[in-house]
Amino acid sequence: MSTITPDYQAIKARQQAAWSSCDYAVIGCTLQIVGEQLAEACDLRTDERVLDVAAGNGNMSLAAARRGCEVVSTDYVPGLLERSAERAHAERLNIRFEVADVEALPFEAASFDTVVSSFGVMFAPDHLRSAAEMARVCRPGGRIGLANWTPDSLIGRMFKVLGRHVPPPAGVQAPSLWGTEAHLRTLFGERVVHLEMTARHFNFRYRSAAHFIDVFRNWYGPVHKAFAALPAEQAELLARELTELLEEQNRAGPGSLVVPSEYLEAVLTLR
């Protein structure tokens, strides 16, 4: 039985195009509470050196800077870093921004006290390399803080629906595996001396399932690209399946939409 070796560079190029195709910050800014909770879980200290990888529009970067840390915020989509820089400027926060790929971080080994990612690194296609790079640039005894959607979360299930219509690249592991203890232990292995995990939920709040789909179709890269790739009839089917998923999970009743989405908050202490 042959094993498929993914073309990670080609996959990343397509991913980068997807995330660059629309302004994820419209959605990303609603997730700020996750960054604040993760910053507390990491017990960040003033003047600690913090690296945020796949930082998106900077929720975790801002949370760390608010706690007096020396923050470097990185992403491979320049437009997202620009949105984060606008937010940092508005709050008078000192954050350094660099375009960088989590699978090839341009920093010396042991350069940071804490390395973090909130719903970011989980989407990098090469899981093992991403984990190795995060561990490499974190000092011995330092922490890696992660917030990742679980396989059974709303977002995990949404990607399964998308995958039925636009199949993911062959040989690439599902992003939501980062939201499981077993996968984190496989990725980081003996580098970790302690792993603390907390199951949390983020509530997506919209007027209706139709409102959620409209926002994600316009501003969430993977959903935007999926709809754009489908003929009209299949796009309508995708919208119906997403509507069914959202309405099944809605805890607000008629007239509104509140859907909890589980994520795993993990703090790994390195040897």
Task: Specify the residue for token string 């920093």.
Answer: 107
The pLDDT tens digits for 38-81 are 999 999 999 999 999 999 999 999 999 999 999 999 999 999 99
Distance CA 258, CA 112 (A): 38
Work out whether the CA dihedral 163, 168, 170, 175 comes out positive or negative.
negative
Q: Which residues of the chain have pLDDT under 70?
A: 1-3
> What does the pLDDT read at residue 3?
66
CA 223 to chain centre: 15
Q: Are 249 and 154 in contact (CB under 8 A)?
A: yes
Question: Hey, where are the domains in the chain?
Answer: 8-159+168-205+262-270
Nearest to 42 by CA among 105, 93, 112, 102: 112
Q: Are 217 and 242 in contact (CB under 8 A)?
A: no
Q: What is the pTM of this model?
A: 0.96
Give strand pairing partners of 202.
261
> What does the pLDDT read at residue 4?
74
- SS3 string of the chain? CCCCCCCHHHHHHHHHHHHHCCCCHHHHHHHHHHHHHHHHHCCCCCCCEEEECCCCCCHHHHHHHHCCCEEEEEECCHHHHHHHHHHHHHCCCCEEEEECCHHHCCCCCCCEEEEEEECCHHHCCCHHHHHHHHHHHEEEEEEEEEEEECCCCHHHHHHHHHHHHCCCCCCCCCHHHHHCHHHHHHHHHHHEEEEEEEEEEEEEEECCHHHHHHHHHHHCHHHHHHHHHCCHHHHHHHHHHHHHHHHHHCCCCCCCEEEEEEEEEEEEEEC
> What does the mean pLDDT of the chain come to?
96
Tokens of 3: 């094993």
HSE-CB at 136 with a 13 A cutoff on CA atoms is 15
Computed over its alpha carbons, how large is the radius of gyration of the chain?
A: 18
Work out whether the CA dihedral 247, 249, 252, 256 comes out positive or negative.
negative
> Which fold does the domain 8-159+168-205+262-270 belong to in CATH?
Rossmann fold (3.40.50)
